[in-house]
Chain A
Amino acid sequence: QKEVEQNSGPLSVPEGAIASLNCTYSDRGSQSFFWYRQYSGKSPELIMFIYSNGDKEDGRFTAQLNKASQYVSLLIRDSQPSDSATYLCAAQMAGRRALTFGSGTRLQVQP
């Protein structure tokens, strides 16, 4: 079973700090990677996607991909209480168009 693994958390950080969320995937042929944010009782919404090794920045968010280590991460700078949510990592695995999601990491930003 090809999987995406995340630490369930909760990850607790103080307001203004950097939150680091990590994800590993088992399928070396995976091509595209996505980070979704899901507030409690709501549906997932896309934050960022990354296809190439290295870093990709968008505002306070930075996605990092290391295909050799099969590792994806999401950094949130200047964390705000409104960032408190579950963050889902998803991968498009080889031979499939749909996404395979991890179980999510719950982030708590303390005011």
Chain B
Amino acid sequence: EAGVAQSPRYKIIEKRQSVAFWCNPISGHATLYWYQQILGQGPKLLIQFQNNGVVDDSQLPKDRFSAERLKGVDSTLKIQPAKLEDSAVYLCASSLVGTGRETQYFGPGTRLLVL
């Protein structure tokens, strides 16, 4: 079974530029999560999709971050414009249903450095 795929793996941009990350969840997984993990901290949820609908985006900085899930499968997360404090690893995860009582499988992450 293929795992969660993410691209790119690394990205370096200057502040005020825009950047986009892509995620392909495990086949058949209805729920997709984007987390932000700053160095030395645990992952923080940015947004959760159930199929192609948003379940939780309460911690998404909506003035600069946006996300969509196309046809309930792939997802993109965009930052525009980027700030220095956005430097982090962006992790995509998926789970079968999204009840909370189930394993979330994480992708390899995208490391973003904002200069």
Give A76-93 as 1s and 0s: 1 = Cβ < 8 Å from B's Cβ atoms: 000000000000101010
Please give, as numbers and ranges, the residues of chain A lying within 8 Å of B101 by CB-CB distance: 31-32, 49, 51, 92
In the complex, the answer to whether B42 meets A103 with C-beta atoms within 8 Å is yes
Indicate if A17 sits at the interface (CB-CB under 8 A).
Answer: no
Main secondary structure of the interface of B (DSSP, over half): loop
B104 within 8 A of A: yes
Scoring B residues 94 to 112 as 1 if CB is less than 8 Å from chain A, else 0, what string do you get?
0000111101111111000
* B45: Cβ under 8 A from any A Cβ: yes
- Asked if B106 and A43 make an inter-chain contact with CB atoms under 8 angstroms apart, the answer reads yes
A57 touches B (CB below 8 Å): no
Q: B24-61 CB contact bits vs A (8 Å, 1 = yes)?
A: 00000001010100001111110010000001100000
B100–A99 touching, CB < 8 Å? yes
List residues 61-105 of chain A with CB under 8 A from any CB of chain B: 88, 90, 92, 96-104
The reply to whether the CB of A16 lies closer than 8 angstroms to some CB of chain B is no
Which residues of chain B from 38 to 94 have any CB-CB distance to chain A below 8 Å in the complex? 40-45, 48, 55-56, 91
Contact of A92 among B31, B44, B100, B103 (CB under 8 A): B100
B45 surroundings in chain A (CB, below 8 A) = 98-100
Are B56 and A96 in contact, CB atoms less than 8 angstroms apart? yes
Whether A99 pairs with B91 at a CB distance below 8 angstroms is no
Q: A44-B43, A98-B45 are in contact. List 17 more A-B contacts (CB 8 A).
A: A4-B42, A8-B40, A32-B100, A43-B107, A44-B91, A46-B105, A88-B42, A96-B100, A97-B48, A97-B100, A98-B33, A98-B48, A98-B100, A101-B42, A101-B43, A103-B42, A104-B41
Q: Which residues of B come within 8 Å of A, CB atoms?
A: 31, 33, 35, 40-45, 48, 55-56, 91, 98-101, 103-109
Residues in A lying within 8 Å of B, measured CB to CB: 4, 8, 31-32, 42-46, 49, 51, 88, 90, 92, 96-104
